[in-house]
């Protein structure tokens, strides 16, 4: 089998705001083959930059675009394709947006392999260890503590057993930080877990103070309180925090996850397949498990990313929970024909169809395509 085309498709809602909401736009990766099989991936990065990386013309030996690199290659040889991109993108694409673009390609290649074998990706990865994951509802904080409490009530009533609030007003003042979490706890009730995603707002000493203050509300974890590069801060915080610390959604390469676990001391790592790919997700996940840490997906995009996340999670032993984005965007909920929902117990189910087990709603692409 040979790759005949690699296309980056940029989608965006008519209005994109400065809120930290990744469901306002996205970049899909479509890989076509001479066997008539099409694979889909999705990238959580700057969509137009990723498209430029896919489309980039040859500059020199170690500076080439993804389409130029992969057309003619065997899509079933996934590691070979990844290595080829490492070489041709060496000059500019080993980290950040270059690595994110490669991650989207990796997802699409796994989708092709699964479809070619008529098997779900998780089987090809050696899973599934689990077919259902306890879904935590993932949303942004309300602008005020009261609005946050209302959101907590709404999603608790919707059947979630855990709710994560992120970014927004967190970090503005000690008083408001505490009020946000207090109202979240009140709104959710005592039987629902509360997770806090601080959004990189503090230094490690402030984060430790907040971790102690939030302990009173029984939070499940404190997520990404520090800048992603503050590995030493994460180490100090993780050593002393009374609540588990989660981070590493920003990482793309295996070595970065390893550093965050071994040097940063994180309790949870949160690989996003749209930034690190399915292959690295599973590799990093198994590394974390060997180090007696826990793994959960980061996913704040469409059903493509959610399926890729569930496929990868199910190939890592000991995984239990999954991030389940409930942002109110058609790009989150309508881009795949398959609708993801939680069951009566609040669990999300692993797709069992060939490849990622999802099909793309072409009408949504047509409606929101901007590039």
Within 8 A by CB and 6+ apart from 292, the residues are none
Q: Least distance (Å) from Mg ion to the CB of residue 197?
A: 4
Bin 266: left if φ > 0, else alpha if -120 < ψ < 50, else beta. Answer: beta
Q: How many CB atoms lie within 10 A of CB 339?
A: 8
Q: Which residue is nearest to Mg ion (CB)?
A: 197
Bin 161: left if φ > 0, else alpha if -120 < ψ < 50, else beta. Answer: alpha
Residue (51 or 275) nearer to Mg ion, CB: 275
Which pairing describes strands 38-43 and 25-33: parallel, antiparallel, or unpaired?
Answer: antiparallel
Q: Least distance (Å) from Mg ion to the CB of residue 304?
A: 19
Q: Least distance (Å) from Mg ion to the CB of residue 111?
A: 25
Q: Least distance (Å) from Mg ion to the CB of residue 290?
A: 24
Residue (111 or 224) nearer to Mg ion, CB: 224
Alpha helices in 248-336 (DSSP H): 254-262, 273-290, 303-313, 330-333
Residue (32 or 224) nearer to Mg ion, CB: 224
How distant, in Å, are the alpha carbons of 84, 111, 126, 321 from that of 306?
Answer: 27, 13, 19, 13
Residue (96 or 365) nearer to Mg ion, CB: 96
Q: Least distance (Å) from Mg ion to the CB of residue 229?
A: 15
The answer to whether 37 and 355 are in contact (CB under 8 A) is no
d(CA 339, CA 170): 31
Q: Which residues of the chain form contacts with Mg ion (CB under 5 A)?
A: 197, 224
Sheet of 25-33, strands arranged across: 3-12, 25-33, 38-43
Residue (93 or 225) nearer to Mg ion, CB: 225
Q: Least distance (Å) from Mg ion to the CB of residue 59?
A: 34
Residue (222 or 310) nearer to Mg ion, CB: 222
Q: Least distance (Å) from Mg ion to the CB of residue 331?
A: 18
Residue (233 or 351) nearer to Mg ion, CB: 233
């Amino acid at each position: 089998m040979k790759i005949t085309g690699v296309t980056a498709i940029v989608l965006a809602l008519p209005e994109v705001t400065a809120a930290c909401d990744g469901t306002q736009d996205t970049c899909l990766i479509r890989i076509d083959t001479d066997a008539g099989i099409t694979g889909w991936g999705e990238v959580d990065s700057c969509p137009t930059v990723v498209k430029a990386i896919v489309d980039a013309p040859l500059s020199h030996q170690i500076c080439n675009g993804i389409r130029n690199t992969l057309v003619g290659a065997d899509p079933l040889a996934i590691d070979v394709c990844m290595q080829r991109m490492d070489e041709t993108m060496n000059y500019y694409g080993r980290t950040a947006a270059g690595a994110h673009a490669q991650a989207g390609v990796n997802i699409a290649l796994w989708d092709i392999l699964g479809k070619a074998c008529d098997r779900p990706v998780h089987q090809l990865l050696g899973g599934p260890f689990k077919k259902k994951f306890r879904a935590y509802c993932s949303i942004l904080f309300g602008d005020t503590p009261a609005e946050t409490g209302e959101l907590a009530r709404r999603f608790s009533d919707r059947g979630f057993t855990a709710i994560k609030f992120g970014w927004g007003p967190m970090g503005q003042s000690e008083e408001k930080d505490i009020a946000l979490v207090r109202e979240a706890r009140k709104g959710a009730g005592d039987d629902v877990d509360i997770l806090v995603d601080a959004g990189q707002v503090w230094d490690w000493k402030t984060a430790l103070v907040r971790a102690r203050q939030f302990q009173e509300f029984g939070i499940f974890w404190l997520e990404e309180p520090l800048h992603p590069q503050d590995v030493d801060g994460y180490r100090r915080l993780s050593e002393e925090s009374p609540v588990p610390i989660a981070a590493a959604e920003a990482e793309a390469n295996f070595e970065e996850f390893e550093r965050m676990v071994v040097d940063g001391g994180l309790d949870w790592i949160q690989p996003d397949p749209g930034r690190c790919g399915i292959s690295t997700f599973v590799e990093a996940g198994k590394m974390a498990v060997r180090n007696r840490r826990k793994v959960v997906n980061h996913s704040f995009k469409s059903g493509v990313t959610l399926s890729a996340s569930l496929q990868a999670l199910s190939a890592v032993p000991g995984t239990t929970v999954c991030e389940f984005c409930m942002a109110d965007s058609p790009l989150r909920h309508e881009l795949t024909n398959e609708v993801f929902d939680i069951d009566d117990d609040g669990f999300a189910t692993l797709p069992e169809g060939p490849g990622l087990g999802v099909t793309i709603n072409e009408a949504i692409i047509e409606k929101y395509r901007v590039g």
